[in-house]
Amino acid sequence: MNRLGTRLKSLRGSRSLVAFAKALGLSYTFVREMERGNRLPSDDVIVQLAERLGVDSGELALLTYCDRSQMLAEHLRAIGVDTHLPELTSVPVAPLPTRSSVPLSASLGGATPGSTSPGSAMLGSVSTTG
């Protein structure tokens, strides 16, 4: 599916391709090839299109990205590359380290647990991994 080309045709409306291309400041053949899905615009052209058409450049960039991804997948399939990710049936998971609670003052080399040094009530405790 040619998402960008479909959107450009919609924005063109009843205007001729030649008049539309002229209004965009682009060549007739380039606009025709974008509408057909044979060419994709650069980032600079996307910005130019958005400004002249009064649409969000992010929308056109997203449509271009989708079309580019599809073109790449089609090319890879044509040269024999499998474009589908194998299903994940079993993924080994390493055990998470255990957590223990150590008073923050002790971990900083300050007061020992249970002592009352200035600010020890505010320090609380910190979790560490072991």
Per-residue pLDDT reduced to its tens digit, 64-78: 999 998 888 888 889
Write out the residue limits of the CATH 1.10.260.40 domain(s) in the chain.
3-78
β-bridge partners, 103: 125
**Superfamily in which the 3-78 domain is placed by CATH:** lambda repressor-like DNA-binding domains (1.10.260.40)
State yes or no: pLDDT of 46 exceeds 70.
yes
pTM reported for the whole predicted model: 0.60
Which residue intervals of the chain are DSSP H helices?
A: 3-12, 17-24, 28-36, 43-53, 57-78, 104-107, 120-123
Identify residue 81 by its one-letter amino acid code.
Answer: V
What mean pLDDT value characterizes the chain?
A: 81
pLDDT of residue 83: 76
**61 contacts 46 by C-beta, under 8 angstroms:** yes
Identify residue 85 by its one-letter amino acid code.
Answer: L
**104 contacts 98 by C-beta, under 8 angstroms:** no
